[in-house]
């Protein structure tokens, strides 16, 4: 499958740090989802625990990411392969996911929270 990837795409595993994600990423449905949204990285979410279900479903339902379900599901290999193929060969979908996710998470939330806390202290 890797040999047939469209030019400019690469497939990796054990990716560490946001600098290595390239044009897309596979991630569990935890806080990394929000980091990838902020960076505009199209993602495929694998649910690794029950607390990730809602996040994965909502990001998928609203077009920010693609969720392939529970990591331990018997169909995960086929589901992941299908999702990878779908995104690899659809640059418009990747671009839409990237743009939408950056609209969702702008990266300035910590600034807004700290300003709110400071204003509470000043009151």
Q: Tell me the domain boundaries of the chain.
A: 23-122
- The structure tokens 């996911």 sit at 97
Indicate if the pLDDT at residue 12 is higher than 80.
Answer: no
Q: Residue 44 and residue 23: Cα distance in Å, rounded?
A: 12
Q: What is the pLDDT of residues 44-101, one digit of tens each?
A: 999 989 999 999 999 999 999 999 999 888 998 999 999 999 998 999 999 999 999 9
What is the per-residue pLDDT for 25?
67
Q: Residue 70 and residue 98: Cα distance in Å, rounded?
A: 23
CATH code of domain 23-122: 3.40.50.2000
User: In this structure, what token pair is assigned to residue 85?
Assistant: 């193929």
Indicate if the pLDDT at residue 7 is higher than 90.
Answer: no
Query: Binning pLDDT at 50, 70 and 90, where does residue 15 land?
Result: very low
Query: Binning pLDDT at 50, 70 and 90, where does residue 30 land?
Result: confident
**H or E segment to which residue 99 belongs:** helix 91-104
Indicate if the pLDDT at residue 43 is higher than 60.
Answer: yes
Q: Cα 97–99–103 angle (5° rounding)?
A: 110
Q: Residue 75 and residue 5: Cα distance in Å, rounded?
A: 23
Task: Please tell me the pTM assigned to this model.
Answer: 0.73
Contact 87, 42 (CB under 8 A): yes
């Amino acid at each position: 499958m890797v040999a047939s990837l469209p030019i400019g795409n690469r497939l990796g595993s054990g990716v560490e740090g946001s600098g290595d994600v390239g044009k897309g990423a596979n991630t569990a449905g935890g806080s990394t989802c929000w980091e990838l949204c902020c960076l505009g990285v199209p993602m495929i979410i694998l649910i690794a625990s029950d607390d990730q279900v809602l996040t994965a479903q909502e990001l998928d339902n609203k077009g920010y990411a693609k969720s392939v379900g529970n990591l331990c599901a018997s169909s995960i290999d086929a589901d992941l392969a299908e999702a990878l193929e779908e995104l690899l060969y659809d640059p418009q979908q990747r671009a839409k996911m990237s743009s939408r996710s950056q609209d969702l998470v702008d990266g300035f939330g910590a600034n807004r929270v700290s300003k709110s806390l400071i204003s509470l202290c000043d009151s």
